[in-house]
A and B are shown apart, each in its own frame.
Chain A
């Protein structure tokens, strides 16, 4: 069974902290994505990666960075968390045209 796993379902962090959100897929997919989901705005693409060590900016990359050292793992990094980064974060990987999603991480920055 296809699986995309995000390391945490809920996370609370303090302003200014460095935050790591981890995503692991077991399907050998080349493409991986990070989105944030906010009410009324849908899913907005932060970063994506089409290969190990490759990354591309999405529509809202400011305040975020990513790391892909291994094919199965794609990490989203908030260098200095701010309250406006409180959101739901979704990771996805794709095989051709089918996307598989993790269960989401609801991050609250206080």
Chain B
């Protein structure tokens, strides 16, 4: 079974500063993807960033970047220059790629509040 653990229920950050969200996962698979999703108060899930396990280079998307440590099974998200619109719940997610099976599993989430 695969599990995703987010150990920080809540984080608060001052506008323009940096915040890092942690995520660890457990799997015996070699072929998988990792994701960070954002869920603002509108409830719509939005893909923030994606990392392929076979790529060593850390993914970046504008102000969002990840630190992927495959051996440690760790996948943290860094939000730089935080903006008020970044206030949301953030979920770490994991997908394995079986022959029929694209099972997508999520962590418990971290609520991020950006203070003005």
Same complex origin of A and B: yes
B6 in the interface (beta carbon within 8 A)? yes
Q: Which residues of A contact B106 (CB under 8 A)?
A: 35, 42-44
Interface string of A72-110 (1 = CB under 8 A from B): 000000000000000010101010011101011000000
Do A94 and B6 form a contact, CB below 8 Å, given A41-B108, A43-B91, A99-B47? Answer: no
- Classify the secondary structure of B's interface with A: loop
- Classify the secondary structure of A's interface with B: strand
Q: Is the CB of A40 within 8 A of B9?
A: yes
Interface size class of A (residues with CB under 8 A): 20 to 34
Interfacial residues, chain A to chain B (CB-CB below 8 A): 31, 33, 35, 40-45, 48, 50-51, 54, 56, 58-59, 88, 90, 92, 94, 97-99, 101, 103-104
In the complex, A45 Cα to B105 Cα: how many Å?
7
Do A45 and B45 form a contact, CB below 8 Å, given A40-B9, A97-B50, A97-B95? Answer: no
Q: Which residues of B contact A103 (CB under 8 A)?
A: 42-44
Q: Is the CB of B101 within 8 A of A56?
A: yes
In the complex, A59 Cα to B94 Cα: how many Å?
14
Complex partner residue of A92 from B42, B43, B104, B107, CB under 8 angstroms: B104
Do A45 and B109 form a contact, CB below 8 Å, given A88-B43, A98-B47, A104-B43? Answer: no
B33 in the interface (beta carbon within 8 A)? yes
In the complex, A54 Cα to B95 Cα: how many Å?
19
Q: Which residues of A contact B101 (CB under 8 A)?
A: 50, 56
Chain B's nearest CB lies how many Å from the CB of A106? 8
B28 in the interface (beta carbon within 8 A)? no
Chain A's nearest CB lies how many Å from the CB of B99? 9
B100 in the interface (beta carbon within 8 A)? yes
Q: Is the CB of B103 within 8 A of A45?
A: yes
Q: Which residues of B contact A94 (CB under 8 A)?
A: 95, 102, 104
Complex partner residue of B45 from A48, A58, A101, CB under 8 angstroms: A101
Nearest A-chain residue to B101, judged by Cβ? A50
In the complex, A54 Cα to B93 Cα: how many Å?
23
In the complex, A103 Cα to B42 Cα: how many Å?
8
Q: Is the CB of B109 within 8 A of A42?
A: yes
In the complex, A40 Cα to B103 Cα: how many Å?
21
